[in-house]
Structure 1
Amino acid sequence: MKVLVTGGAGYIGSHAVVELLESGYQVVVVDNLCNGSEVALSRAEEITGKKPTFVRADIRDRPALDTLFALHKIDAVIHFAGLKAVGESVGKPLAYYENNVNGTLVLCQAMEAAGVRRIVFSSSATVYGNEAPIPYIETTPRGTTSNPYGTSKAMVEKVLEDIADADRRWSITLLRYFNPIGAHPSGKMGEDPLGVPNNLMPFIAQVAVGRRDELTVFGNDYPTRDGTCERDYLHVVDLAKGHLKALEKNTKPGVNVYNLGTGMGTSVLDMVSSFIRVNNVPVPYKLGERREGDLPAFWADASKARDELDWVAEKNLDDMMADTWRWQSRNPNGYRLL
């Protein structure tokens, strides 16, 4: 079976490529490298002994996609490609709608033309919105999203649902996942954001390795246990394996929705203290103002994924901290040599 992985040179996508290759799938990656690295794909080859096919292209480039589908007999698509930073999306909404929404439209048009109608979409827990009760459960309607990133994910979900309603040949899985962190246990692959990290875990790791002076904790007056935001952090390898489970079940027409998370909330200060304890390294931090677009707390009810996909998050918080530090300490500049 040949799978097209959009955004497969990025953080989550490259870990999914490893799991696909190790499970015997043929893999074609399309990525414009705006948030990814070809080095991640070479590391995936080192780990698995198998080489994915790489096509450098933007998913908004319809001719490039048409050529790709003509050259490769693609059976299914796992769609990661898109911009992903909540804070950045507040300041750059047009870029997020152009990349995430329009990019998916072009991808689906190319898939339709090629007769490929199986897709697993990388969605987000942010589609539940501000008013959703915690824990988030799949039967909760999409809510009022708090930032353009979340809105773009909700819009794509609706697009895909409408496609499936109009043409029952489409098999669509929406994976609403929470906060992936960690790295491949080999230490060869991990999160390597360009510029200043927008997410907590890579910022902690970069402070620990000396690339940044200190961490800013955005807000300590939220209605949570210690006043800092709480999120459902899951290991990126567990998340990647969830995509394989979803792909295996993605054989019947219609739309299926699954949360991928641990079902537990962990605060920002808990994350910092856990990283320090597990790795025995200092992480200086200061308290700052709240960040626009952040919700106080949310976590998953992932029982549907357990029951229908036979998927559960297996790695704990200590695993996530240890694997992150193994990656960052061995690759202090990420995938860049200097």
Structure 2
Amino acid sequence: MKHKIVVTGGLGFIGSHVVVELQNEGFEVVIIDDLSNSSEAVLKGITAITGIQPVFEKLDLRDKNLVIDFFKRHHDVMGVIHFAASKAVGESVNLPLLYYENNLNTLIYILQELHKKEAAHLIFSSSCTVYGQADVLPITESAPIKAAESPYGNTKQIGEEIISDTCKVSDNLKAIALRYFNPIGAHESAKIGELPIGTPQNLVPFITQTGKGLRAELSVFGNDYPTEDGTCVRDYIHVVDLAKAHVAALKRLIGGANADNYEVFNIGTGKGSSVLEVITAFEEVSNQKLNYKLVDRRAGDVVAAYADTTKANNVLGWKAKLNLKDALASAWKWEQSLK
């Protein structure tokens, strides 16, 4: 019998790639998405890649009664991979209550339903933002959690605390929080990828849109940071590698290999790349010069963040296989496929 897994936010950037990897591994997938920051057209891409159309329910997880009803109808769900959340840092500063409602209430309602089951498994989409500007690089899972720079970052910290507290009193619930670094790229088929609505909040879609001529130029925020070339350093991980980490985490829980009811893993490449290094790599894979300008620093940006992936490599049995150029080439191929 196939294990039935719910992927909330499954039509989003990371969620859609995870659905593909789950279906490739033989899981039965049900997608929940409210389409507030995604498109139903992504279903076609998933189906084209895997040959399987997942079940899709348009659902607002902020409605507790709808969540209760969903789990009654899908009583055989084995686990949930939870992506559904608002994720723009700047917007969260301006709309804190929206972010707290959307990112925390939805998690609580899902946990309440999983808590009722004899056995349930949860993979939580967390973030390296919980570390803030770490004191030591690379960042290990034991690094201190710093005061959040934004309501968005705070929802990830509080979300982890809610799950941890629930797992302490729930023998039937097992959970893993994956703290991602910076996901980029697209599926090699160019049938799914990052599809920002409006102005991109992340570096790589802004680069590819500038490369395509949709944006006049790219702003590089700050060139006076204490890094090799003065620009911020991040750990950029290919979204397909990241998706495979979710499958590895889910199999760990279902197979009972977890050491505790609640575990945390960093998911990154272990290598930091500066903004200018990313631009140079893009120029190499796309064979064109990128129009960019150096501007003042942006509030809230940490200087450098990259992962120590030892725990994910050794305990989870997962390792990133694709590099920065692989990811940028796939992102460019995806951008070019968009009309």
- In the alignment, is the contact (CA less than 8 A) between 1:30 and 1:57 conserved in 2? yes
How far did residue 118 of structure 1 move?
1.1
Distance 1:41 1:288 in 2: 39
* CA distance in 2: counterparts of 1:35 and 1:283, whole angstroms: 28
**Counterpart check, 1:90 vs 2:97:** no
- Counterpart of 2:32 in structure 1 is 30
**Alpha-carbon shift at residue 64 of structure 1 (Å):** 1.6
Q: Which residue of 2 aligns with 1:272?
A: 279
Instruction: Choose which of 142, 164, 168 in structure 1 pairs with 2:167.
Output: 164
* SS of match in other structure, 1:184: coil
Q: Who is 2:115 aligned against?
A: 112
Q: Distance in 1 between matches of 2:327 and 2:147?
A: 31
Residues 244-278 of structure 1, C-alpha deviation per residue, up to 9 Å, x if partnerless?
00000014461011000000110111111110111
1:293 aligns with 2:295: no
Look up the SS of the partner of 2:264 in the other structure: strand
Partner of 2:315: 308
Matched ranges for 1:120-131 at <5 A: 120-131=123-134
- The farther-off stretch of 268-277 and 102-111 is 102-111
**TM-score, normalising length: structure 2:** 0.95
How many correspondences in the alignment? Answer: 332
Determine the structure 1 residue equivalent to 2:215.
212
Give ranges in structure 2 of 5+ residues lacking alignment.
Answer: none
User: What amino acid maps onto 1:17 in structure 2?
Assistant: V
Larger deviation, residues 205-214 vs 129-138: 129-138
> 1:227: Cα distance to partner?
1.0
Q: Take 1:133 and 1:143, find their aligned partners in 2: how far apart are those partners?
A: 13
2:191 maps to what in 1?
A: 188
Runs of 4 or more, structure 1, over 3 Å off, are 113-116
Q: Unpaired segments of 5 or more residues in structure 1?
A: 333-338
User: Are residue 281 (structure 1) and residue 288 (structure 2) matched?
Assistant: yes
Match of 2:242 in 1: 239
Tell whether 2:13 aligns with 1:11: yes
CA distance in 2, matches of 1:321, 1:129: 25
Q: What secondary structure, in the 3-state scheme, does the structure 2 residue paired with 1:75 have?
A: strand
Alpha-carbon distance between aligned partners in 2 of 1:41 and 1:217, rounded to the nearest angstrom: 34
Cα distance, 1:279–1:131 mapped onto 2, change above 3 Å: closer
8 Å contact 1:2–1:25 — kept in the other structure? Answer: yes
Q: TM-score normalised to the size of structure 1?
A: 0.95
Give, as a single letter, the amino acid of the residue that structure 2 aligns with 1:74. Answer: V
- Superposition deviation, residue 117 in structure 1: 2.7
Residue aligned with 2:304, SS: coil
Paired-residue identity, % = 47
